[in-house]
Copies of this chain bind each other. A is one copy, B any other.
């Protein structure tokens, strides 16, 4: 009998931090653990090298008439810092009450183990299960999945499935299944304004020239209107208005504005008119300043007019905004509004397209939606309602996961994203944990969903 908790503990003990080369052994350990696990389950496993961390590909089932589900996960984890804030050692997983603690328990080792366990149980019951399954587990999700994109380009043939099935997203409460159906995209760039050729004494020269910091604030302040909207012509042109069913799902989630405000620690929300804060972070694009620098930042005062000032900026994008198009309009406005007397330099950093998938039977479901995808959504709806005690919610989220738009673009596949971690699972933070009751329900749900997909195979 496959024991998911013992297997998860074993998996978490490998400190597979992708961002830091001193965890190389942990990365290799996690790869070998997965290789062994999938091999034992009867999968054909390939550890595919990339420019940095390999991708694990594990396949079973060869009959082309069977549905083919691609199960995505990542074996890399965030660095455990700050170590002193952990109440138990991050790489010594331990069960306390209903939770298992350890780095990666929630992001993404626990959720992946849910699907591995579901598959193990199905195969135990029926080794001839009529379902093609390909696990694709990458090792660079926490550092941007850059090499995973190259891997996808070069391995399209291995990944010609019917849908992506995965759990790298959250739920609202232990009794509320959430399926994520959209993520925002992003463009990231930096602007640098140069005025005088070197830093100047603000007494001797102040008053005769445009201070680059002043130019930066004037330029930056022009980017938002007083109503909270981004003040760039055309910015909202390709924003897909949420369908009424989407707003309804969000209302059904019963999110509490007062509690959210307290959680953030703010006195007031600030978003464009006509949207709740929960809607704004999911359905609207943003232009956000992530960091400013320029001039003196040390102790006390320094009377300087700096030569340069810069800002790091990201825009979150929503369907069907296109990163290239938004980039062009933002950059054009920056160049147009840049105050005289300073020179503007824009440095592009990276970008991610927004992603959305519409479940079957909705007002805006595409007519040509693939059958396997629709079947998976329907099975999940049915089983989640039974196992979790209430209907699942289809929600878009505010974050960005580039690989979804990459999978869509490169493989032509949409994803069914079954949420499994909780708001207090402490992702990317000390004392990361995974709820064992959620795990148990997740395994049961996943087992039934996959069985349901197998049942659509021609007998």
Residues of chain A touching chain B, judged by Cβ–Cβ distance below 8 Å, are 19-21, 78-79, 81-82, 85, 143-144, 170, 183-184, 186, 188, 190, 195-211, 213-214, 216-218, 220-222, 224, 260, 264-271, 277-278, 280-281, 284-286, 288-307, 309, 311-312, 314, 316, 339-341, 343, 349-350, 397-400, 426-430
Contact = CB atoms under 8 A, between A and B. Distances in A.
Q: Name, among A199, A301, A398, the residue most crowded by chain B CB atoms within 10 Å (CB to CB).
A: A301
16 contacts: A20-B298, A81-B298, A143-B300, A144-B301, A188-B301, A199-B430, A200-B429, A206-B398, A207-B280, A210-B268, A214-B288, A214-B289, A221-B221, A270-B340, A290-B303, A292-B309
Nearest to A275: B207
A339 B268 CA distance: 11
Given A295-B289, A300-B349, A271 B208 contact: yes
Contacts of A199: 82, 428-430
A281 B206 contact: yes
Given A221-B220, A224-B214, A341-B270, A186 B198 contact: no
Q: How many copies are assembled?
A: 2
Nearest to A399: B203
Contacts of A312: 295-297, 301-302
Given A205-B264, A209-B269, A216 B341 contact: no
A429 to B, nearest CB: 5
The 3 A-B pairs at the shortest CB distance, nearest first, are namely A197-B265, A203-B399, A291-B295
A206 B288 contact: yes
Given A196-B266, A298-B19, A303 B314 contact: yes
A24 to B, nearest CB: 13
B290 A293 contact: no
Contacts of A311: 213
Contact of A205 (B290, B293, B341, B398): B398
Contacts of A82: 199
Given A208-B280, A221-B218, A277-B209, A294 B295 contact: no
A265 B196 contact: yes
A298 to B, nearest CB: 7
A81 B426 CA distance: 39
A416 B257 CA distance: 65
Contacts of A206: 281, 286, 288, 316, 398
